[in-house]
C-alpha cells in the first residue's frame, strides 16, 4: 500500500467525531471542528450581549468576503456572499439576457441545481444544450468543442463531479469557450478547500462554491466570484437589499444594484453561517490546502489499490490530475452498502450506483484500511 503523510496527527484531535466514527464523507459535509463550534458560541454570545449588533454582523460579512477572496486569488469586490450556490447561480441567471446569444452549454456531470436553474431560463429565451459524458465517465474536450459555438452565451461546468469524482479540464474548456466569445461559470463546490483554487489562473468568468464540504463550515453560506470586467454584464432581477448600491438607503422606489459583485447578493446575510464559515476557511488555511491535496491523493492511491485487490470497480478516473478528493466505487446495491458500512461505524454516501468515499486532511491510512476491510466483508455488494 502507498505510504501517506503525517498531516492528520497534527489536526485530527480538533474533530471530535473521530473519537466515535470513521468519517470519510466530506463530499457531503465536512467534519465539525472545535473552531467552528467556538464560532457558533461567539455568534450566540454576541447576540446575547449586544442584542442586535448589525454593524458587527455587516463587518463579519465583509470579513467573510475578504477571506474567500484570498482563497481564490480575487479582490473582495469581486465576491458576493450568498446563502447557497443555488442563490448565487440564480442571481447570475436572472441578470443575463439571451437575445444576442441564446445557448447555455451544460455538462452532464453537473449538480442538479445547476441544470435546473439553466433550464428555468428557457422561458426567458435560453436554449440549454447538454454535453454528454464519454465511455470513461468524463466529458472529453471534443464534446465541448462540438457544443460551444458562436451562439453560446455561457458554458456551465463543475470542477469535480459529485457523482463520479471526475475532474473537468477547466483551463482547456475556458480557452475553447473564450475563443468563441462565451463566458464560463465554474461550480467549485467539490474542490474549494480540497485543492488550491486560483480564479485568475483558471481564467473563469464566474465561480461559485460553498463552505459546508471541504471548507469545514456549515450549510447556509456560499460565495460567488465575478470577474470585475463583467460587473455590468448582468443586472440581476433576483435581488435583495444587500445587493443594493447603498444597503442602508432603504429606498423602495428604486433599484440601483451595487457596482461590484455584491449585486449578486440578496437579502439578510446568513450571520450564524458566516461566523462558522470564516472559522472553517481560516482553519483550512492554517492546515494548508496544497498539503491537504497531496495528502488526500496519497490516501486515494491507497484506496484505489485496495479496491483493485478486492476485484471492485473504481468509477473515478485513476490519474491524479483527473480526479478530486472524491473517489467513487461501483456497487450492486449502494444503499445497502452505505448502510452496512454505517453499521461498522464508517460514514460514507452514495449517488447513482456508486459508493462515494471522500477523504480530507483529517483522515488517516487507518481510516482507508478500515473501509477496505469492511468492503472485503461485503464484497458481494461490489460490482
> What are the tens digits of pLDDT across the range 77-101?
999 999 999 999 999 999 999 999 9
Task: Give pLDDT, residue 167.
Answer: 95
Q: Quick one: 370 exposed, middle or buried, by C-beta within 10 A (0-12, 13-18, 19+)?
A: middle
Give the pairing type, strands 152-158 and 183-187: parallel
Euclidean distance between CA atoms 331 and 105, whole angstroms: 31
Query: What's the CATH architecture for 37-285?
Result: 3-Layer(aba) Sandwich (3.40)
- What does the longest C-alpha to C-alpha distance in the chain come to? 67
Mean pLDDT value of segment 275-303: 97
- Smallest CA-to-CA distance from 150 within 177, 132, 186 is with 177
The region that residue 73 occupies, defined by phi over 0 for left and psi between -120 and 50 for alpha, beta otherwise, is: left
Arithmetic mean of pLDDT over the chain: 96
Task: Give pLDDT, residue 252.
Answer: 92
**Percent of the chain predicted with pLDDT > 90:** 96
Q: Do domains 7-32+288-381 and 37-285 have the same CATH topology?
A: no
For residue 232, count other CB atoms closer than 10 A to its CB.
11
> What are the tens digits of pLDDT across the range 113-128?
999 999 999 999 999 9
Mean pLDDT value of segment 29-42: 98
Give the residue carrying C-alpha cell 463552505. 211
Mean pLDDT value of segment 342-361: 97
Q: What does the domain layout of the chain look like in residue ranges? A: 7-32+288-381, 37-285
HEC per residue, 163-193: CCCEECCHHHHHHHHHHCCCEEEEECCCCEC
For residue 107, count other CB atoms closer than 10 A to its CB.
24
Q: What is the pTM of this model?
A: 0.95
**Of 162-176, 237-251, 351-365, which gets the smallest average pLDDT?**
237-251
Query: What's the CATH architecture for 7-32+288-381?
Result: Alpha-Beta Complex (3.90)
Amino acid at each position: 500500500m502507498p505510504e501517506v503523510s503525517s498531516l492528520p496527527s497534527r489536526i485530527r484531535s480538533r474533530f471530535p467525531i473521530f473519537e466515535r466514527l470513521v468519517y470519510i464523507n466530506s463530499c457531503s459535509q465536512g467534519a465539525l471542528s472545535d473552531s467552528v463550534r467556538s464560532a457558533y458560541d461567539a455568534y450566540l454570545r454576541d447576540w446575547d450581549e449586544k442584542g442586535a449588533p448589525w454593524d458587527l454582523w455587516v463587518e463579519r460579512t465583509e470579513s467573510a468576503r475578504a477571506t474567500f477572496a484570498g482563497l481564490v486569488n480575487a479582490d473582495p469586490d469581486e465576491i458576493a456572499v450568498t446563502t447557497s450556490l443555488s442563490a448565487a447561480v440564480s442571481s447570475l441567471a436572472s441578470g443575463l439576457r439571451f437575445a444576442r446569444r441564446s445557448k447555455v452549454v451544460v455538462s452532464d456531470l453537473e449538480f442538479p441545481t445547476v441544470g435546473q436553474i439553466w433550464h428555468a431560463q428557457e422561458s426567458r429565451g435560453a436554449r440549454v444544450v447538454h454535453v454528454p459524458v464519454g465511455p470513461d465517465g468524463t466529458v472529453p474536450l471534443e464534446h465541448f468543442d462540438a457544443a460551444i459555438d458562436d451562439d453560446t452565451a455561457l458554458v456551465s461546468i463543475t470542477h469535480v463531479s459529485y457523482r463520479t469524482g471526475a475532474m473537468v479540464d477547466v483551463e482547456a474548456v475556458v480557452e475553447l469557450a473564450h475563443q468563441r466569445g462565451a463566458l464560463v461559470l465554474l461550480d467549485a463546490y467539490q474542490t474549494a478547500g480540497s485543492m488550491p483554487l486560483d480564479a485568475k489562473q483558471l481564467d473563469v468568468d464566474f465561480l461559485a462554491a460553498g463552505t459546508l464540504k471541504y471548507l469545514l463550515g456549515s450549510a447556509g453560506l456560499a460565495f460567488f466570484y465575478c470577474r470585475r470586467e463583467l460587473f455590468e454584464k448582468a443586472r440581476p432581477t433576483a435581488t435583495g437589499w444587500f445587493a443594493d448600491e447603498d444597503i442602508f438607503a432603504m429606498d423602495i422606489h428604486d433599484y440601483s444594484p451595487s457596482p461590484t459583485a455584491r449585486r449578486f447578493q440578496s437579502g439578510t446575510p446568513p450571520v450564524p453561517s458566516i461566523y462558522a464559515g470564516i472559522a472553517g476557511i481560516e482553519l483550512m488555511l492554517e492546515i494548508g490546502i496544497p498539503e491537504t491535496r497531496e495528502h488526500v491523493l496519497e490516501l486515494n492511491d491507497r484506496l484505489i489499490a485496495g479496491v483493485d485487490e478486492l476485484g471492485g470497480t473504481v468509477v473515478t478516473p485513476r490519474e491524479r490530475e483527473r480526479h478530486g478528493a472524491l473517489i467513487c466505487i461501483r456497487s450492486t446495491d449502494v444503499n445497502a452498502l452505505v448502510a452496512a458500512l454505517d453499521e461498522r461505524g464508517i460514514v460514507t454516501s452514495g449517488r447513482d450506483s456508486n459508493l462515494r468515499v471522500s477523504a480530507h486532511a483529517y483522515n488517516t491510512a487507518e481510516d482507508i484500511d478500515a473501509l477496505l476491510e469492511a468492503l472485503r466483508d461485503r464484497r458481494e455488494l461490489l460490482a
